[in-house]
Amino acid sequence: MNEQTTTPLHKQSYQLEVTRPVWLPYNDIAHNLVEALVDHFGYPTSGPKAERYAVVLASLLKAAQAHVLSANNNLPHYIGIQRRASAWSRFPLVGRTVSDGVVGDFLNYFGGQLVEGSGTSGLYQDDQGKWRTDPKMSMYTLGLDKLPEQLTAARFIEVGRPLVKVNKAETQQQKNRRKTQKLAKPSLIMRRLQTLMRMPSEPLTALSGVIL
């Protein structure tokens, strides 16, 4: 991957599709694309890790699909990939180890180029001379000529929405005591949350049904 020279990064000067590892292939075209990449990279096709690799590949293809469809727009289009470990902790279907490897393979294979000025800590000094950071997400362009011709006809289904934390109700006295002790807000355990939401005893990460 080579750095690409571009204009300064102002949010109004580009379009961004952020990759979220929550997609799996839905139609035959999407399945064939994912299976072809799994075979090319030598990823597992069975066992507990197989779906993790499929999720990352399908999610990257979903983002690349938007990259292709925006080719005729006036503004440049980038694919955003969050590299920090904390960014992946909300997506339990994959994990950072698998995602990092697949992202690297995908970008190399499809000519990914890092957009200059992205993927940095954004370290700067404020008016008072204090050092602060303004992290910039890693953004990439892909070689449109390298992407599969049938990509725009692929359809994907959302299978792993991010986890959410629901805080317990607190009285004002409990809240004041917690703040005095500098404790984090207490959250509901999964079983209690399922009871409140009147959901069956199945992982909340299995929410699905959105097809794009």
Mean of the per-residue pLDDT values of the chain: 77
For the cut 50, the answer to whether the pLDDT of residue 17 exceeds it is yes
- The maximal CA–CA distance of the chain, rounded, in angstroms, is 62
Mean pLDDT (whole number) for 45-74: 87
Determine contact, residues 153/25, Cβ cutoff 8 Å.
no
Q: Percentage of residues in the chain with pLDDT exceeding 90?
A: 24
For the cut 90, the answer to whether the pLDDT of residue 139 exceeds it is no
d(CA 45, CA 31): 13
Q: What are the phi and psi torsion angles at 68 (to 5°)? A: -70, -45
pTM of the model: 0.67
